[in-house]
Amino acid sequence: MRCCASAAAACALPPLPSHMTDIRLVLHSHAALPELLDALSEEDRQRPLLAGIFNFGYLPGTDKRRTTTAAGSLAAVDALLERLAPQGCLSLHCYTGHEGGAAEEAALAQRLARLEPRRWRVLHCRDANRESRGESILLAERLPVRQR
């Protein structure tokens, strides 16, 4: 939760519409996500997860010494991949302009690249006109189950 105060200010959102009852916004370290998911009620653990959105690296405009790590990021992504519903999607925005950023992005890209192609679609978009301190987006979609 190193950047929570800045992240909270950056994520100041208006209230959700009343018909959106199955959305949860959690302001916490993504490294704690496996434990947070395990602490959900049994009913909530059985609900399909339709989306997960991450910003990895550092919070732009803040101290670049406060960063995410590959180990914590991989644990969070793995926890959501296990629970993602068919046609659900994970979005990973990787900021790489800090020490360890490129290695973290590479670890995340390698993890997603190993997902079974018949069950997952993985896209990797990155800055094409910047040699360093670029950003990238990784998207992982769980494909629908096909009946044979």
Mean pLDDT of 82-94: 94
In order of start, what are the domains of the chain with their CATH numbers? 49-142 (3.40.50.150)
Mean pLDDT of 86-100: 92
Phi-psi region of 96 (alpha: psi -120 to 50; beta: other; left: phi over 0): alpha
80, 38 in Cβ contact below 8 A?
A: no
pLDDT for the residue numbered 20:
64
DSSP 3-34: THHHHHHHT--PPPPTT--S-----S-GGGHH
80, 49 in Cβ contact below 8 A?
A: yes
Vertex 113, ends 49 and 89: CA angle to 5°?
20
> Across-strand partners of 51?
89
Q: pTM for the whole thing?
A: 0.81
Q: pLDDT tens for residues 58-73?
A: 877 777 788 899 999 9
